[in-house]
């Protein structure tokens, strides 16, 4: 034991320098980006519902591979798509958060309609199937379109009017547009 103590005492400066070098190497390694990260396309700033995304609206962030959504889009795939709902800065861009023309499927047409009571949209989500009901003209509620799909929702539900994007067939889009002129539109969620 005495020999070890003497060796350490005689070589204390080189041993201290070696320990300091090891500490510096450990710190440099800890500061290096981990190899288990990947790029993720995120929104660069807050986006309102219905906005068509441009490259200025998007950026990339490094995230752990385990946090990368399985249906995240690359920047090139997200540009030109429409935001399905309001998005916050830093939110991941996935196939469910944006729409393209093919996302409208067999419905084919996106019609924007105004809802007089934004509070009536509480609980409605993008992708819900809805019946569009109007009370205008006749004083009684009647269905004007069945099975439209909610494609976009307003960023906020405050104010007196909210605009909702509904995906429907060509014929139903004309009926929706006609009903929207008269006002009094409500949405009924289908099971």
Mean predicted lDDT score pLDDT of the chain: 81
Those residues whose C-beta lies under 8 Å from the C-beta of residue 141, and which sit 6 or more positions away, are 133, 134, 135, 186
pLDDT of residue 98: 83
What is the distance in angstroms between the CA of the first residue and the CA of the last residue of the chain? 80
> What pTM did the predictor assign?
0.52
Give the Cβ contact number of residue 52 at 10 Å. 13
| 83: β partners | 98
Residue 9 in this model has a pLDDT that exceeds 80: no
pLDDT band at 108 (very low <50, low <70, confident <90, very high): low
Total residue count of the chain as it appears in this document: 191
Of 109, 105, 148, residue with least CA distance to 129: 148
Structure tokens at 148: 């439209």
């Amino acid at each position: 034991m005495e020999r070890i103590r003497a060796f350490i005492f005689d070589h204390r400066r080189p041993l201290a320098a070696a320990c300091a070098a090891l500490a510096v190497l450990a710190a440099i390694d800890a500061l290096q980006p981990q190899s288990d990260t990947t790029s993720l396309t995120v929104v660069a700033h807050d986006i309102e519902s219905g906005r068509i995304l441009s490259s200025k609206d998007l950026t990339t962030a490094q995230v752990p591979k385990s946090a990368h959504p399985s249906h995240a889009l690359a920047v090139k795939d997200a540009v030109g798509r429409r935001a399905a709902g309001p998005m916050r800065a830093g939110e991941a861009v996935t196939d469910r958060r944006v729409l393209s023309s093919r996302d409208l499927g067999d419905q084919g047409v996106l019609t924007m309609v105004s809802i007089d009571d934004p509070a009536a949209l509480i609980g409605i989500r993008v992708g819900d199937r809805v019946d569009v009901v109007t009370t205008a003209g006749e004083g009684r509620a009647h269905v004007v379109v069945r099975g439209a799909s909610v494609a976009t929702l307003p960023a906020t539900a405050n104010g007196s009017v909210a605009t909702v994007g509904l995906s429907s067939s060509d014929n139903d889009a004309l009926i929706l547009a006609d009903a929207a002129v008269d006002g009094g539109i409500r949405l009924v969620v289908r099971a």
